[in-house]
Amino acid sequence: MEVLLGLLTIEPMSGYDLGQTIRGSIGHFWNESYGQIYPNLKKLAADGLVSAKTEKQKGKPERRIYSITREGRERLTNWLAVPPQAEVPRNELLLKLFFGAQVFPDISIGYIERMAESERSSIQLIKRAAEEIARNQQYPDAPYWKMAARFGEIELEAHLRWAEETLAELKKIAGKRRGNAEPGKEKKHASQ
């Protein structure tokens, strides 16, 4: 819920606007679905941490615009003062790679190639976000947004570098397995 309070410090927004802002800014490291946003906004409003007003739109349904309250700012400030908790990562790709000797290397190669392509796309998105931040220096939060974007960019570049190194190694393994395969041996190994 604190993410919604934080975003509302930028400007008042509707639930839809919050979802779009998440996808366009912090979505690379924090995600909230509309199924989480709307119930949390109701709870925040019930707790007096946000206020809501209805805005009429020409030719469209009314929408609710939420603003952070003084109590909401206090809650956000208190939350920001608590050190972040380390999260235990879960990465299915790495788990499958760890057990990769049990299948043909081409399977792992496919996973890593898709990951590399996804990382390349994400790097482009985050670079565009960084350019947008550079154009919005009037916000006092802009230097912090820039720091978060740079972290994401460096992390994605590291993922891509790892993927490229891993692909090279997997292709060597695949070549050796193909060169050393006895008829029927590969099929048996893949089905175990």
What was the pLDDT predicted at 181?
64
Does one domain contain both 64 and 119? no
Statement to judge: residues 102 and 45 lie in one domain: no
User: Could you report how far apart the first and last alpha carbons of the chain are, in Å?
Assistant: 46
The whole-number pLDDT of residue 133 equals 87
Q: Verify that 131 and 43 share a domain, yes or no.
A: no
**Residue 119: pLDDT over 90:** yes
Within this chain, do residues 107 and 39 fall inside the same structural domain, yes or no? no
Q: Are residues 76 and 134 in the same domain?
A: no
Q: Please write the tens of the pLDDT for every residue from 50-62.
A: 999 999 989 998 9
Task: Give me the amino acid identity at 30.
Answer: W
112 and 181 fall within a common domain: yes
Same domain (yes/no): 7, 28: yes
What CATH number does the domain containing 26 carry? 1.10.10.10
Tell me the residue range of the domain where 99 lies. Answer: 92-191
**Cα–Cα distance, 122 to 70 (Å, whole number):** 36
CA 127-79-130 angle, 5° bins: 10
Evaluate if residue 184 carries a pLDDT over 70. Answer: no
| Residues β-bridged to residue 63 | 55
Q: Mean pLDDT over all residues of the chain?
A: 90
Percent residues over pLDDT 70 in the chain: 94
Q: Is residue 149 part of a domain?
A: yes
**How many residues belong to the chain?**
192
Q: Which token pair is 36? A: 């989480």
The Cα 116–Cα 147 span in angstroms is 24
pLDDT at 187: 45
Which pLDDT band holds residue 157 (cuts at 50, 70, 90)? very high
Quote the number of domains for the chain.
2
User: Is 35 inside a domain boundary?
Assistant: yes
162 and 98 in a common domain: yes
CA atoms of 69 and 8, how far apart (whole Å): 9
Domain shared by 107 and 173, yes or no = yes
Q: How far apart are CA 5 and CA 79, in angstroms?
A: 10
Residue 185, pLDDT above cutoff 80: no
Classify residue 158: in a domain, yes or no.
yes
Same domain? For 64 and 108 the reply is: no
Residue 85 forms part of a structural domain = no
66 forms beta bridges with 13, 52
3-class SS of residue 26:
coil
User: Same domain, yes or no, for 159 and 184?
Assistant: yes
Q: Is the domain of 100 the same as that of 76?
A: no
